[in-house]
Structure 1
Amino acid sequence: MDSIAKKLVHFCTQKPKIVYVVLLLLTLGFMAQIPRIQIDTDPENMLDAEHPARVFHNQVKTTFAMYDAIVVGVVDSSDPNGVFTQSSLTDISVITESIMSIDGVVSADLMSISTVDNISQTSTGTIRFEWMMPSPPASTAEALKIQENLARLPLLQDTLASQNGKAAAIYVPILDKNESYNIAEKIRSEISQLNGTADWYITGLPVAEDQFGFEMFIQMGISAPLAGLTIFILLFLFFRNIPLIIAPMIVAMATVLITMGALIGLGFTVHIMSSMIAIFLMPIAVVDSVHILSEFSDRYKPGKSLNDTIEEVVGHLFTPMLYTSVTSSVGFYSLMLTPIPPVQIFGAFVGSGILLAFIITIVFMPAYLSRMNETSLNKLQEVMHSQQGGSKIASFAKSLGSFALNNRFVLVASFAVVFAVSIWGINQIQINDNPVRWFKQNHEIRVADKVLNENFAGTYDAYIVLSTSDTLPPVSDIIFNDLPESLLPWAKERVTAFGDQAPSEQYQQLIIDSEDKLFADVSEEEDAYLSGLITILEKNLSSSKTFQSPEQLAYISSLQTHMQESGLVGKSNSLADVTKVVNRELRSGSAEDYQIPNSSQAVAQTLLQYQSSHRPNDLWHFVTPDFQQTLVWLQLTSGDNQDMTKVIDLVDNYVADNPLPQNIELGWAGKAYINVVWQDNMVAGMLDSLISAFVIVFIMMVILFRSLVFGVLAMLPLTITITFIYGLIGIIGKDYDMPIAVLSALTLGLSVDFAIHFLERARETYKQTQSISDTFSIMFDEPATAITRNALVIALGFTPLLFAPLVPYITVGVFLASIMAISALVTLLILPSVMTMAKKIVFK
């Protein structure tokens, strides 16, 4: 230990009260920030705000007035008529009215059987729009008539009503997705007052994400204290000395509170990843303390100077503890290389928390131990040197040593086979995530998702956006062409008045202004000019309305048919469907006229008719007013990334075989698509961060040991553990999701932790004994016992997560416990085996 560290430890043992006061003030200061906590579970925030996919997604939502929606479903499988009964339809009407009165609901866009139009024909060429259900039906016959009317409208069938008639849905658009949990709770309250026999469900990505945030907040308050309690119990079993084990618990609590306080105080929201910071740091923060306590209990003898023993122990452990802390933090800091902001924040604060834990340990543990009374120290000696306390762990560690040294060839061969199989398993990994799967299978959100997606075309949204690159020439290029001098002031005034209006709006306004001018007293020259100008403007405006073209709509319809036939898309709605329905009713009302009109003028007529409905603004969900952008709304029965990726590939292949019309571009938006984008970014980013961190840690190991051989040995447990864990994930078919991806950082940091302690102590011991057998005999005494204790503390420290109601927490708990157990076993089995087999190289 260098002179600065010696002086620091000496100061702490001489002035412990100063250490206590400073640590207390720091902890209280950062704790004061915690009440300012803000929860964020929006997967969109996995992408940077400036990411092109996210920017485009938000532009599409604004352009087409698309809102995040809660899906409310009602299912009645017991009645022969399903939900098309007086009772169920009355309940739907009542609930719809209640929902529309809730603050935060976009009532004008709410879709329910009682808020949409029935489109029908009164006579040839005449169309009628009337409410589908203006009031609840007075008889079963009326209820069945509503079902019949819905079945005739492809825009609504399988969206608002299932084909089997057993289910109906209400789509509740909301202004702020962060209010979805509160709105869902109000809807649940209204539903609870109904007396019907039908079952009601609430799902949708916004409510799933927001509900996860609510439950995550509760989980944070449960898991971290439970982890602390578990660690406390473990330490008591190890040392049987409550005053002694209070010290590492203080280190852990101070580390967690300061780190979380800093996170919140700096204005960062608590995302699903950062919510796990406390549970990650709690076990990791006590690791160095356990090493100190283990060696202190082994070295301290009655009558020996307490402070000298403390300084000797910390001095002996300072270098390996420093390097294990730095390498562990590097593993987490590597996450900052990913392009996912919440993962970057998680990595930064866990990495900083680990370094903070090291500093607090080095400062607080000497101060605390120096204040222990003689009674506690004597009791510690009795426990540690009797058949209590750590004797069973010590016996287990020694047995591992015997097994490793007696079966080294078998072990090395076995690990080689496991490594090879793991590499194959890694190639089987499937990248997939879905916020709804963050809940257990019996959770109401998960149950609702399953039931409603079995009955409807899908509750997951994705949007295909087609845009034209054709642009209208500026008005100024047209208005001043062959302009009579007498109209020059009028023309300049018109151009100036347009300002920043959209080109199509400028054209429309100029047509109106030109027609008004014609009604004034104008000369023949001015009359001819204005009439020609109006003709040119109307021609340009008509040709610019790309998606009024039957050819363009036919392409969209063909793409929709292809997607529907694939079975990957539950349903799609587009401008083409609107024109088909209205065209059918304008003509014969029969199926043969369910087709796109054969001219742009006829398409325009159908859309004009559609706008005379009770919901005229629905048209602008499918097309922009200038008809230069159109949207195809896809309903998917699965929110899994794998399924959305298949849809994207399907569309890409279709476009490759059937090229888009000239000057048309295709883009994607919607929550299901955004999830795919951030997952792809995460996987690529995690791979980059893992490789970078691996290289950095390897270089650090070579520098630490000043030996390439020992650097390679230190990386062995890490390499085997990472490949085994991720190979196992691929073999058992577990989806590679966000929590699994982040675990690579922990695996990298902590797997090398055990190896550093083992190798550093082995090398020092060999220098003293100059005997390989004696070295490993000593190594499988206190050092191996300390490693085993630490592995147990960290592994079991995460076990409270196994009882969480949220799947990501369970995943983290299971795999972290596995990682700790495997990395400790690999360290204690493979390192002595390889070191003895290659003793001529290792022990020069």
Structure 2
Amino acid sequence: MQNLLTFGARHRLITLIILTLVTALCATGLDKLRIDTSFDSLISDNDPTKIAYETIKDEFGSDNTTMIYVRSENLWTEDRIAALEEMHYALEDLPFVQRVESLFNTRSIRDRDGMIESSTVLDGVPFDASEMADAKARALYSPLVVGNFISEDGTVTAINVSIEKDPTDPEFDRHAFEAMNAAIAPYTDAFDESFQVGPPRVNEETTVSLFADFSRLIPLSLGVLIVTIVIFLRNGLACIFPLLTSALSIVFAFGLMGHLGIPINILSAMVPSLVIVIGSTEDTHMLASYLQGLGGGDADAKKSERRRAATFFMVRQLGLPLILTSVTTTLGFSANGFAEMELIRDFSYSASMAIAANAVVTILTIPLLLTIFGPLKSRLHTHNPSSETPEEDLSGIVGAILSVFRRIVEKPKTVIAVSAVLFVVCTAFGFQTKVSNDPIAFFKSDHPLVQNVEQLAEDLSGMEIFYINLDSTEDFAFRQPENLRKLAAIKQYIMADGRFDNAISIADHLSMVNREFHGSDPAMMTVPDTPELVNQYLLFFQRGDLESYISADYERANMVVRHNIHNSHDLKLAVADLTAKVHEIAGPGLRVHLVGQNLMINNAAEDLIAAQVQSVLLLLAVIFIMMSLVYTSVIGGLLSLIPNIIPIAVIFGVMGIFDIPLNPGTATVAVIAIGIAIDDTIHLLSTYAHESRLTPDRMLAIRRTQTHQAIPAISTSVALGAGFLVLMDSNFTIISQFGMLSAIAMIAALVADLIVTPVLMSFVRLVGLDEILMLRVGKSVFENSPLFDGMTPYQMRKTVLLSETQPFKAGDRLVEQGTVGDDMIMILSGQVVVTLDQNGKTTRLAERGPGGILGEIGFVQEQERTANVDAVTDGEMLVFNAERVRRNMLLYPHIASKLNQNIARILGARLAATSQRLGQFEEAGKTS
């Protein structure tokens, strides 16, 4: 591992060549990047209504409908109606247009002095005031026209354009939007206001907003990064390194996206900002460790030697944590790769590649740069970080914050109680979180698109469309009045319910004719009573008038429903109620399908919850297993999770309290927060494991750990929080919400790491797998010492690491006769002699070398030492304090059992030897 992490420092030229070649290769993929803002990416691949939707769409026409909104206070004039007609036909001429509906081809049925008149609302442009007034009257008279093509006051009209999307054109929406704008542009000056609302515009506005976010958020993120690093590391040069690694990582990631065909979408537009902010966290940890290494180096050495020494100190300190945090952060993003929604999957892929690329670039680049350009002076520490009073080592803001946190940690019961209450309360509010997946809701309320959508809904009907499709196996089923009445009953429920704006079916067309046959009596706006009347009334319509509502064989009827519900939770409830009612009305004889792109997008919102839970559990499981292996203990795995579960609870609590929905943006927050927040936890646990080897005092080890990690933990958390807050300036609501929640998660994670984690650490002693593997103890120690009988090499090494290692020099007295103690000593290296002071004489009792055990009786029961132990040569010993060993071994009961068993055997052997000597003395006394 050390060789990997120091590769850049040891092989500068090779590293530079590798980075240059990889950058050049990835850069060739940048021109292959494409943007995908289509609604298809918001739909689950496994939506059960997808097949039925495609079938119904093929038969009754696309629900991909754009409304051309036109308003004029004096609409009914010759020049304006002429301009409106030109718009209609210009739109019809577009190659991708399937159907155009407006006042010029909508059927009007009206009783004229006992004669039934069937014509379009506008048959060309009226040439005099009388004809114009008559045309306006026809438009305002028809219930099929008002609310669909004309407002109640006659000042607003709409042209509905059904579009057949070209799946081979990745930029179809932009082309369609621009083509429709170009088609209507010559005529818009005739009106007070005109605009188009529909999927092409939504997608085009999304694309424009994406580029606006790119140009604004990236510089802001860079600014936040620079300011944070300068403030906390107090070194201007240090901010250059993260900028370089971020730039290379972005080129790597976006180049790979281009080569792999992964598009940029509304979420992956955040990737540059995320890389800049998240990627800088490890840079900051590395720089802080480098500056710490400067403080402990030889100030008189050459500059190059000082830089190299500090760099290698950094690598030794951060080797395992650096690898672990890179893996967990990447996992945090990649966990969303299992989502059924393409939008989230593509974001997961792009972000994972970017973070992984940043890890590789950082590992190669930072050591290289530090050995050449690394600063030579550190302003962070006023004393040695290993001093006995580490709380005095940090000054400024970090020192003040750390001082407050330490006072809180001194009350562990309060910390645990408050944390538990906070978790429960936030979790309870979290269950109130709703889901949302509507593209219009992605934009902020003051966006022109949102305002246009609301204006359309207020003057006419909402832009959202779905179909209610009834299917029968009987011939000409929907020429039968009883089935038509079912359509009418569904329409009656929809209008009475009030949540949907409008609904039209063949039943409305026939009811309108029936009304006119009964002298325009509103009470007769009902379905005709007999099949004969149905057949007669159908003669008033052409096939083109009804093709959106009835199949050619009259076995399938289609109702078009329009609404303006852009809250997925509300739409879900409304559709659920409607579905139940439609099935009730339709009965067992008819098959029912509620389908539409809008509904599939809404259905995918429900998948967000399942995907979120799945991703969070998967990531937690992976982290738990990984950390349990790293710290060789299940408790170690749990310890790493607890501080990172708290921020997740806080996120969902905030969402529930402030009614922030779970949407494609916020759905990714939890796993990303875990992946990032575990970073500081890993660094804390790794440093604590290291410090615990240097002192038996757990609280001192914790204080030293806090001192070492305070600057990188606080600075990275503040940088991350500020960086995520930058995203609140996005044009998209879901990105703003993502930024705010992520910032909250970072601060919550910081508090948990510097308060909750130290409290939890005070109860355990961790041993890292790297410490076990790297432990250097002579083989003879394990072979010669009865203390390790029956233990595996792994258990032997772990036992050594769970005790306290102390060096000694020749002449040192290790044990003083007459003192009271409960420490047991094992010699790791060197030679010691055991002597007895008695009657003014010193008697040499024994010598002990590597593997030798001393003080085993005191370890079992504290008592007065009966002999002296003095060092003959320099060496190292292992000190087993009875109470500390008991506490440390709580996490490792199997090792504790073997250790106690071996101690018992040693005591038994000593007792047997003592008894034998006593017997020999007694025997000698008898013979004498």
Q: Which TM-score bucket, shorter chain as reference?
A: 0.7 to 0.9
Q: 1:241 Cα deviation (Å)?
A: 4.1
Partner of 2:142: 153
Partner of 1:761: 687
Pair 1:16–1:625, CA change in 2 (3 A): same
One-letter amino acid of the counterpart of residue 148, structure 1:
A
Bigger Cα displacement from structure 2, 85-94 vs 569-578: 85-94
Q: 1:184 Cα deviation (Å)?
A: 4.2
Partner of 2:124: 134
Please list every run of 5 or more consecutive structure 2 residues that lacks an aligned counterpart in the other structure.
Answer: 384-392, 766-883, 890-928
One-letter amino acid of the counterpart of residue 363, structure 1:
L
Pair 1:594–1:10, CA change in 2 (3 A): closer
Distance between the aligned counterparts of 1:757 and 1:843, measured in 2?
21
Distance between the aligned counterparts of 1:68 and 1:609, measured in 2?
28
Bigger Cα displacement from structure 2, 430-439 vs 720-729: 430-439
Partner of 1:511: none
Q: 1:788 Cα deviation (Å)?
A: 0.9
Partner of 1:519: none
Partner of 1:309: 310
Pair 1:279–1:842, CA change in 2 (3 A): farther
| Bigger Rg, which one | 2
Indicate conservation of the 8 Å contact 2:466/2:561, yes or no. Answer: yes
The equivalent position to 1:450 in structure 2, one of 442, 447, 454, is 454
Indicate conservation of the 8 Å contact 1:69/1:173, yes or no. Answer: yes
Pair 1:357–1:820, CA change in 2 (3 A): same
The equivalent position to 1:561 in structure 2, one of 487, 492, 496, is 492
Partner of 1:377: 375
When the two chains are superposed, the root-mean-square deviation of aligned CA atoms in Å is: 2.9
One-letter amino acid of the counterpart of residue 162, structure 1:
S
**Secondary structure, aligned partner of 1:220:** helix
Q: 1:68 Cα deviation (Å)?
A: 1.3
Indicate conservation of the 8 Å contact 2:46/2:340, yes or no. Answer: no
Partner of 1:253: 247
Bigger Cα displacement from structure 2, 728-737 vs 703-712: 703-712
Please tell me whether residue 665 in structure 1 is matched to residue 591 in structure 2: yes
Please tell me whether residue 120 in structure 1 is matched to residue 110 in structure 2: yes
TM-score w.r.t. the length of structure 2 is 0.76
Partner of 2:924: none
Partner of 1:484: none
Q: 1:136 Cα deviation (Å)?
A: 5.3
Pair 1:621–1:435, CA change in 2 (3 A): same
Please tell me whether residue 651 in structure 1 is matched to residue 641 in structure 2: no
Alignment of 1:703-742 (within 5 A): 703-742=629-668
Deviations 1:529-569 (A, max 9, x none): xxxxxxxxxxxxxx522222221111111111111111112
Partner of 2:57: 61
Please tell me whether residue 277 in structure 1 is matched to residue 203 in structure 2: no
Deviations 1:381-416 (A, max 9, x none): 367769xx9953431442243233234433333222
Q: 1:157 Cα deviation (Å)?
A: 1.3
**Secondary structure, aligned partner of 1:381:** coil
Distance between the aligned counterparts of 1:601 and 1:709, measured in 2?
80
Distance between the aligned counterparts of 2:407 and 2:91, measured in 1?
68
**Which structure is higher in helix share?**
1
Partner of 2:609: 683
Distance between the aligned counterparts of 1:626 and 1:597, measured in 2?
19
**Secondary structure, aligned partner of 1:371:** helix
One-letter amino acid of the counterpart of residue 768, structure 1:
L
Pair 1:382–1:791, CA change in 2 (3 A): closer
Bigger Cα displacement from structure 2, 543-552 vs 626-635: 543-552
Alignment of 1:348-359 (within 5 A): 348-359=349-360
Indicate conservation of the 8 Å contact 1:205/1:436, yes or no. Answer: no
Please tell me whether residue 745 in structure 1 is matched to residue 671 in structure 2: yes
Partner of 2:152: 163
Q: 1:310 Cα deviation (Å)?
A: 1.8
Partner of 2:791: none
Please tell me whether residue 325 in structure 1 is matched to residue 326 in structure 2: yes
Deviations 1:415-449 (A, max 9, x none): 22221210111121111232112222221101111
Indicate conservation of the 8 Å contact 1:798/1:816, yes or no. Answer: yes
- Count the aligned residue pairs: 749
Pair 1:620–1:99, CA change in 2 (3 A): closer
Indicate conservation of the 8 Å contact 1:117/1:132, yes or no. Answer: no
Q: 1:793 Cα deviation (Å)?
A: 2.2
Partner of 1:435: 439
Partner of 1:545: 476
Indicate conservation of the 8 Å contact 2:435/2:662, yes or no. Answer: yes
Indicate conservation of the 8 Å contact 2:307/2:372, yes or no. Answer: no
Distance between the aligned counterparts of 1:256 and 1:597, measured in 2?
67
Partner of 2:8: 12
Please list every run of 5 or more consecutive structure 1 residues that lacks an aligned counterpart in the other structure.
Answer: 471-542
Distance between the aligned counterparts of 1:342 and 1:194, measured in 2?
36
**Which structure is higher in strand share?**
2
Pair 1:441–1:85, CA change in 2 (3 A): farther
The equivalent position to 1:423 in structure 2, one of 420, 427, 452, is 427
The equivalent position to 1:825 in structure 2, one of 751, 754, 758, is 751
Distance between the aligned counterparts of 1:39 and 1:162, measured in 2?
37
Indicate conservation of the 8 Å contact 1:801/1:813, yes or no. Answer: yes
Partner of 1:486: none
Please tell me whether residue 174 in structure 1 is matched to residue 163 in structure 2: yes
**Secondary structure, aligned partner of 1:632:** strand
**Secondary structure, aligned partner of 2:559:** strand
Q: 1:801 Cα deviation (Å)?
A: 1.9
Distance between the aligned counterparts of 1:667 and 1:9, measured in 2?
59
Q: 1:740 Cα deviation (Å)?
A: 0.8
Pair 1:263–1:197, CA change in 2 (3 A): closer
Indicate conservation of the 8 Å contact 1:44/1:674, yes or no. Answer: no
Pair 1:125–1:197, CA change in 2 (3 A): closer
Bigger Cα displacement from structure 2, 5-14 vs 59-68: 5-14
Pair 1:818–1:625, CA change in 2 (3 A): same
Pair 1:390–1:764, CA change in 2 (3 A): closer
Q: 1:127 Cα deviation (Å)?
A: 4.0
Structure with larger RCO (C-alpha < 8 A, sep 6+): 1
Q: 1:56 Cα deviation (Å)?
A: 2.5
The equivalent position to 1:692 in structure 2, one of 606, 618, 625, is 618
**Secondary structure, aligned partner of 2:437:** coil
Distance between the aligned counterparts of 2:576 and 2:439, measured in 1?
22
TM-score w.r.t. the length of structure 1 is 0.83
Pair 1:418–1:85, CA change in 2 (3 A): farther
Pair 1:556–1:689, CA change in 2 (3 A): same
Q: 1:721 Cα deviation (Å)?
A: 0.4
Pair 1:21–1:331, CA change in 2 (3 A): same
Q: 1:41 Cα deviation (Å)?
A: 1.5
Pair 1:681–1:68, CA change in 2 (3 A): same
**Secondary structure, aligned partner of 1:345:** helix
Partner of 1:481: none
**Secondary structure, aligned partner of 1:458:** coil
Bigger Cα displacement from structure 2, 57-66 vs 722-731: 57-66
Partner of 1:214: 208
**Secondary structure, aligned partner of 2:637:** helix
Distance between the aligned counterparts of 1:37 and 1:349, measured in 2?
12
One-letter amino acid of the counterpart of residue 113, structure 1:
L
Percent sequence identity is: 19
Please tell me whether residue 605 in structure 1 is matched to residue 594 in structure 2: no
Pair 1:147–1:842, CA change in 2 (3 A): farther
One-letter amino acid of the counterpart of residue 235, structure 1:
I
Partner of 1:202: 196
Indicate conservation of the 8 Å contact 1:44/1:54, yes or no. Answer: no
Please tell me whether residue 778 in structure 1 is matched to residue 704 in structure 2: yes
Distance between the aligned counterparts of 2:430 and 2:455, measured in 1?
34
Pair 1:621–1:677, CA change in 2 (3 A): same
